[in-house]
Structure 1
Amino acid sequence: MHPHSPLSCPCGQRHAAGQRGCRPAPGKITSIAFSPTEKSSCCAAPREEESDRGDADYRWRISGMDCPACARKIENAVGQLPGVAQARVLFATEKLLVSADKDVRQQVEQAVVSAGFTLRSESQPAEENPGFWRENGLLLALGALLLASWLLQAIDPQAGKIAFILTTLVGCWPVARTALRLMRSGTPFAIETLMTVAALGALFIGATAEAAMVLLLFMLGERLEAFAAGRARRGVTALMALKPDEALRIRGDKRETVAVSELQPGDLIEVAAGGRLPADAILATSFASFDESALTGESMPVARQAGETVAAGSLSVDRLVTLKVASKPGESAIDRILHLIEEADAHRAPVERFLDRFSRVYTPLVMALALLVALIPPLLFAGDWQTWIYKGLTLLLIGCPCALVISTPAAITSGLAAAARHGVLIKGGAALESLNNVRTLAFDKTGTLTEGKPQIVAIEAFDGQDEAALLAKAAAVEQGSSHPLAKAIVQLAEQRRLLIPQATAQKTLAGSGIEAVVGGHKLSICAPERLALTAERQAQVAQLESAGNTVAIVAQNLQPTGLIALRDTLRPDAAAALAELRALNITAVMLTGDNPRAAAAIASELAIDYRASLLPEDKVAAIHELNQRSAVAMVGDGINDAPAMKAATLGIAMGGGSDVALESADAALTHNRLTGLATMIRLSRATHANIRQNITLALGLKGLFLVTTLLGITGLWLAVLADSGATALVTANALRLLSKR
């Protein structure tokens, strides 16, 4: 029948917690009733792959990060401070998390300011938008000086040359100052360092106009990159804005306005029509409609009845409502989604990790190669010093790996953000990349392909016993279980207002049912094949199962005393979702613990293969077998699905499923619609194609300009286009994923 006990290990497998070889669950997806990664550093040395962050001792908000490379620069600056065990910057939510064995707040703040950024506490309000002129003033001023220098050169070449030198120095000053700060804070090979060397080197050999142009193009590229990063981060900031800062709390006859952080479970709150919920809450008003589209993607308002839970950030559409707070501060639906987004960087795509490590050795290697190009031909082959120094400086700019390294995280960030817009949460780039390889989807039945709300269609007490007494005893055994079949039995007993006796010594029969002691007798509820039934009873069970019902046998002291038949209904979107998957060449198979006849009835309606009567370990074995043919994703919602989800290439949880299934999953459908699976696959494939396009674009431009530079065809300012231009192009290409439908 159905298992009832949680598993002993957080990895979802049946062994002792922490056993050698067990794979712990990645960042937790806490139950959601209704994920962008940080981008990698450009030229800065990246960090190694990290585990989940755990609790930080100190937290700040960061201002001034224009691109994801800034996150690595801050980490390097803070990470080398004495007493700091770990420093981590979450670019998506602009947070700095520091773990330390002593109070390092003052040192951290000084280090971050020295690196060119500002900090504020999490409770402080966000800074106002700096405005157009403050953000772009230096770029516009440099452009005006460059134009004036060109005009002056047309009139007086010598005066124009002096003007270009002054323009270069004006533009180089903030870049060089940032480079020095980063060197002191542990990032010697930043892009600012390369630009400073190139600009000053160009002045040294007399290429004054090109030196100024290099800096102008670099600043333009930085602004374009900052704009693109802001676009990718906008979805996160919009999500954070869904939760109001204050709430109206009811205490007796008094109403008081309090900060959301002061709300505790059990508090009564009031939300006006058009207002958003500050926390997850249980509706106390008889009924109301809520707009949950910002969290679930559901376009139509959802009608909720008294006693139903409504997610934080939902909008009360038509009336003033009273609700009872259900979530602790920092644990609402919005907070949980933001936590997932923050944790996504711990599960970066393999190609992204490779490019990160590649950039660590690539940048110093390029600098050394540029130095050799500038020195060897003049020293060994009597080459012209000015010509070869110029080529060395150009190579220095072409070689910066910004566009290459950012090509993957830019696409993955956009892909994850686009998925979140469609009600799909994916735990980072590794899961998104794995989805691209999936060719088979394995489905649990109850609660996944079906509604998960079975109804009792028949109760029969054997040997003339009382039907009501049989139902009451069955409800006693099942009480407290979260399984849909158990809930249906208890619910019907409560609806009939039966007196449910007390049960003790409840014990799960792994994968087949449950037993307990009721009224001094051992009662069990299990699958028909677990007991010896007469031929007449077997025929009766077969008839019920052939109609698509699930049959549970109630036994007292191992003697059958009755049966309960339950039937679940297909999800309304199940057939459409499977049709979409078939159009994507995805094979579907149903893995269920239900009996073969009931499974066959559901499978025939959906036209998919199935395997029935599976215990949790049988599902794992089936997944291993399927994995040998092609990559498999397991879709489920129950405790018994968790081991199979961990065994699969990818685990996908239904948003309303059990906590164990959600923790074991690599992705979740927050809106509980199966059509999100096809969306997930399409986005993964589009992201993978986007990554290939970006890498081809970055390498192609660099290769082209490298050849033309060595041949003397192109110069410094085109070399900047090979880097800053390519960075802007790959980022813009990645942003196309945000509009993917």
Structure 2
Amino acid sequence: MAAESPYKLRIEGMDCASCALKIENAMRRLPGVTDINVSYAAGTLALQLDEDRTPQRVIEENVKALGYTPIGAAAEAGIPRKRERLPWWGDVKGQLVLITGALFVLAFVLARFLPDWERWLYSAAALAGVLPFARRALAGALSGSPFTIETLMTAAAVGAVAIGEAEEAAVVIFLFAIGELLETVAAGRARAGIEALIDLVPRTARRQRNDAFDIEEISVDALVIGDVVVVRPGDRVPSDGKVISGSSEVDEAPVTGESVPVLKEMGAKVYAGSINANGELRVEITHVAADNTIARIIHLVEEAQEAKAPMARMIDRFSRWYTPGAMIVALLVVLVPPLAFGGDWSTWIYRGLATLLIACPCALVISTPAAITSGLAAAARQGLLIKGGAALETLGKVTAVAFDKTGTLTLGRPRVTDVVARVGAENEVLARAAAVERNTSHPLGIAIVEAAQARGLELPATFGGGIATPGKAVTARLKGGFASVGSPRYAAEQTGLDAKIAETITALEGEGKTVVVLLSGKTVEGLIALRDEPREDAAEGVKRLTDQGIKAIVLTGDNARTAQAIAGQLGLEARAELLPDAKLAEIGTLKQAGPIAMVGDGINDAPALAASSVGIAMGGGTDVALETADAALLKNRVTGVAELIALSRATLGNIWQNITIALGLKAVFLATTLFGVTTLWMAILADTGATVLVTANALRLLSHRARD
């Protein structure tokens, strides 16, 4: 037996959730097919396939039998491509509208000249028009989906012809075809919301060859890592890279949603699709076209669309029982009044057929995935990446948001403000501390090394690498013995801190500074104070959360006084001096009161992000932000957290509106049907109308904009 391998297929004509459900049921019946994910929003079928048991052609044949068009395997990764857009009359469903409409018009015209043949003309038009739907109904029944909308439609149309209502049957078929076409148009609009991102990346790039003046124009697809490209004022950056020469402001709004242009100088990162404003830049390519920020966003959103949200799964389960239940109700409408109360058989058969049409589940089934898809697309276009419907749902239900401090609420670029020497001179203390921290990736350590370099200090040699004790200290062996740079608490554990040192630490921390202690053995050699300023939008971001009734907390390993100083400045609670395991425990405690979001930089905060109900990574489009946590703020602004939650709440509200519309209209028309008010064409128009209303309501989310 061959090993299973991933297989992904793009499908045309799959434009609603019930379509996806039929394909999913058909795939489940095939041997060697597992991990099935069908996304009508992305128009894809993804699965694990054992080709010895089921060849790929069998997959495609099953899809075709259900009335959809497979258009070739879609790569799991690669350069995103836009789908070819046909005019509505070039689509299969558009052609079906024209055919069913033409059949009805032909029957209508001929009936004016041949009145005696009127019933037979309309019957022929109805039966010919319903044939494509009947074939799909039969294929669905054979593949495990006996109760589909095509089944209801076919039964209603054939039944109407049988009781002499052929003219209405022909109208019903035409209206149903129009409803399917409208679903296609709506699905295309939702997909266009994501595919519009593809247009952000230019098709060509100006690559430097042998020298600065030897420039060639090549396809963006041909760029490789290490190539140097010239980005002129007004040009879009062709792929992710770093600036190696030049200085210019770059508009990153198309990628991150950040409205203010960002100054880019040597060493700065730039992202594919961003627009160079006023100076020429030379950029070294760090990601190929298939792996740039835009491509990763599109792939991640498509994956998110393929993963069903909890509410969507609930609606799917409900619809499996809803459709057969509706058919039983329609049968009871036909049988009970004539048998129990002596009602007229033709009248109640007619009303039973109308009930069948009213019961079509399209509007209900599409209510949740349409809203989720629009929400994901709206978020991506604003630099808010949400990796799945489940995360989108959870965001709207959070009762608290926990923030990491360094790099999240603050800029993540602490600077040395004070050096207090107890042994030797200030520069000696700073140089020895920098030597211990020289290979660190911690922001405080980096700041200490930068401060020493800025003063032109020569760092003592170290013997071996530094040893980190998470949340406490870094220790390295210098010429005179082991030295450590650690927190005051760590220093107090290693040796006693006299009253003067403790008083100095307290004073510095009271100014909102973080203090580290340089220890040589058991001797305190000095103190170094650093301060990391809050992000300019941090206070506004916290305020927006509290205005929404959400509790905001900072969880930090920093000392209590520094944490309180920052928290007081921003208007949130502080939980300080938390080691990694204590931070996880704090997340667990907060989750007991309700869903909690954790916001961090996506690197050091990975355990806390994973432990929270939904993890949100800051990162300005970095790899880590795109690959860690459940959501990412590409614009790297604290206000993005409130924007995510507002969008999620809008999506959840939209879902309940859609469900109310779908079930409310059905309830109204069911009542009017039982009283004989609703005709067959009105019944199908009610179903089509509900589907259109639900879809249009969901598409409103595409225009949802975050508050500036």
Residue 671 of structure 1 deviates from its aligned partner by 0.3
Contact 2:247–2:280 (8 Å) recurs in 1: no
Amino acid of the residue matched to residue 527 of structure 1? Answer: S
Matched, 1:394 2:354: yes
Measure how far apart 1:599 and its partner are: 1.6
**Aligned-partner residue type, residue 394 of structure 2:** S
Matched with 2:414 is: 454
Distance 1:273 1:593 in 2: 44
Aligned position for 1:210? 168
Match of 2:449 in 1: 490
Q: Quick check: 1:296 aligned with 2:259?
A: no
Distance change in 2, residues 1:96/1:494 (3 Å): farther
Aligned pair partner of 1:189 in 139, 147, 170:
147
**One-letter amino acid of the structure 1 residue matched with residue 479 of structure 2:** G
Find the partner of 1:555 among 479, 495, 519.
519
Residues 605-624 of structure 1: matches in 2 within 5 Å? 605-624=569-588
Relative to 1, partners in 2 of residues 1:494 and 1:303: Cα closer, same or farther, differing over 3 Å? same
> Which shifted more, 197-206 or 258-267?
258-267
SS at match of 2:464: strand
Aligned to 1:97: 46
1:659-684 per-residue CA deviation (whole Å, 9 max, x = no partner) reads 77875522221101112222222222
Deviation at 1:453, TM superposition (A): 0.9
Partners in 2 of 1:236 and 1:344 — Cα distance?
Answer: 12
Which one of the candidate residues 88, 94, 112 is aligned to 2:63? Answer: 112
Taking the aligned partners of 1:431 and 1:128, their CA distance within structure 2 comes to: 31
- After superposition, the Cα gap between the structure-2 partners of 1:602 and 1:286, relative to the gap in structure 1 and judged at 3 Å, is same
Output aligned runs, 1:201-240, within 5 Å: 201-240=159-198
- Among 466, 473, 490, the residue aligned to 2:432: 473
- C-alpha deviation, 1:701, in angstroms: 1.2
Render the CA deviation track for 1:237-296: whole Å, top value 9, x for unaligned.
111332345544444356555554543322223344443333211112222332221111
* Preserved contact between residue 37 and residue 306 of structure 2 (Cα < 8 Å): no
| Structure 1 equivalent of residue 404 of structure 2 | 444
Report the counterpart of residue 540 of structure 1 in structure 2. Answer: 504
Give the equivalent residue in structure 1 for 2:664: 700
Counterpart residue type for residue 587 of structure 1: K
- With normalisation by structure 2, the TM-score equals 0.89
1:582 partnered with 2:562: no
CA separation of 1:174/1:688 partners in 2, compared to 1, >3 Å: closer, same or farther?
same
Instruction: Give 3-state SS (helix, strand or coil) of 1:57's partner.
Output: strand
After TM superposition, the structure 1 = structure 2 runs for residues 716-735 of structure 1, keeping only pairs within 5 Å, are 716-735=680-699
- Corresponding residue number in structure 1 for 2:380: 420
Q: How far apart, CA to CA, are the structure 1 residues paired with 2:702 and 2:321?
A: 32
Tell me whether 1:241 sits opposite 2:190 in the alignment.
no
Whether contact under 8 Å (1:638, 1:658) holds in the other structure is no
AA in 2 matched with 1:566:
L
Supply the distance in 2 between the matched residues of 1:696 and 1:243 (Cα, whole angstroms).
41
Q: Is the 8 A contact 2:619 2:625 kept in 1?
A: no
Shift of 1:376: 5.7
Provide structure 1 residue ranges, at least 5 long, that are not aligned to the other structure.
Answer: 1-54
| Matched pairs, number | 686
Alignment partner of 1:139 out of 88, 97, 108: 97
For the 8 Å contact 1:549–1:565, the answer to whether it is kept is yes
What CA distance in whole angstroms lies between the structure 2 residues aligned with 1:410 and 1:643?
33
How do 1:54-453 residues align onto structure 2 when only pairs under 5 Å count? 57-78=6-27, 80-102=29-51, 104-115=55-66, 116-122=68-74, 128-135=84-91, 136-140=94-98, 142-143=100-101, 145-146=103-104, 149=107, 157-252=115-210, 260-328=220-288, 330-345=290-305, 348-375=308-335, 383-453=343-413
The answer on whether the counterparts of 1:575 and 1:606 sit within 8 Å (CA) in structure 2 is yes
Assess, with a 3 A threshold, how the Cα gap between structure 1 residues 265 and 496 changes in structure 2: closer, same or farther.
farther
Q: Post-superposition shift, 1:469?
A: 3.8
Conserved 8 A contact 2:661-2:694? yes
Q: Decide whether the 8 Å contact of 1:395 with 1:706 is kept in 2.
A: yes
- Give the Cα separation in 1 of the matches to 2:271 and 2:483: 39
TM-superposed deviation, 1:402? 1.5
CA distance in 2 between counterparts of 1:215 and 1:234 reads 29
Go from structure 1 to structure 2 and tell me whether the alpha carbon gap of 1:320 and 1:722 turns closer, same or farther (over 3 Å shift).
same
Tell me, which stretches of 5 or more residues in structure 2 are unaligned? none
Q: Which of 542, 557, 572 does residue 593 from structure 1 map onto?
A: 557
Per-residue Cα deviation, 1:653-706 (whole angstroms, up to 9, x for no partner): 212499778755222211011122222222222222222211111111111222
- Does the 8 Å contact 1:524/1:558 carry over to 2? no
For the residues of structure 2 that align with 1:627 and 1:661, how far apart are their CA atoms?
23
**Higher mean displacement: 653-662 or 432-441:** 653-662
Identity rate of aligned residues, in percent? 49
Distance 1:375 1:590, change over 3 A: same
One-letter amino acid of the structure 1 residue matched with residue 70 of structure 2: T
- Distance (Å, rounded) in 1 between the aligned partners of 2:232 and 2:126: 58
Q: Which residue is 1:634 aligned to?
A: 598
Superposition CA RMSD, Å: 3.0
Q: What secondary structure, in the 3-state scheme, does the structure 1 residue paired with 2:86 have? A: coil
Quick one: distance in 1 between partners of 2:266 and 2:573?
40
Name the amino acid aligned to 1:714.
T
Q: Equivalent of 1:687, from 636, 651, 664? A: 651
1:32 is matched with: none
Aligned-pair CA distance for 1:322? 2.5
Q: Distance in 2 between matches of 1:72 and 1:256?
A: 50
For 1:639 and 1:513, locate their aligned partners in 2 and report how far apart those are by CA, in whole Å.
Answer: 19
8 Å contact kept, 2:41–2:305: no
Cα offsets for 1:563-621 (capped at 9, x unmatched): 21101111111122222223222232222211122122212222322222122222233
TM-score normalised to the size of structure 1? Answer: 0.85
Distance 2:442 2:626 in 1: 15
**Hey, what's the Cα distance between the residues in 2 that align with 1:126 and 1:482?**
40
Q: Does the 8 A contact of 2:411 with 2:533 survive in 1? A: yes
8 A contact 1:525–1:554 mirrored in 2: yes
- Contact 2:80–2:290 (CA under 8 A) maintained in structure 1: no
Q: 1:124 to 1:726 in 2, by over 3 A?
A: closer
Go from structure 1 to structure 2 and tell me whether the alpha carbon gap of 1:320 and 1:677 turns closer, same or farther (over 3 Å shift). Answer: same
For residues 588 and 482 of structure 2, the distance between their equivalents in structure 1, rounded to whole angstroms, comes to: 37
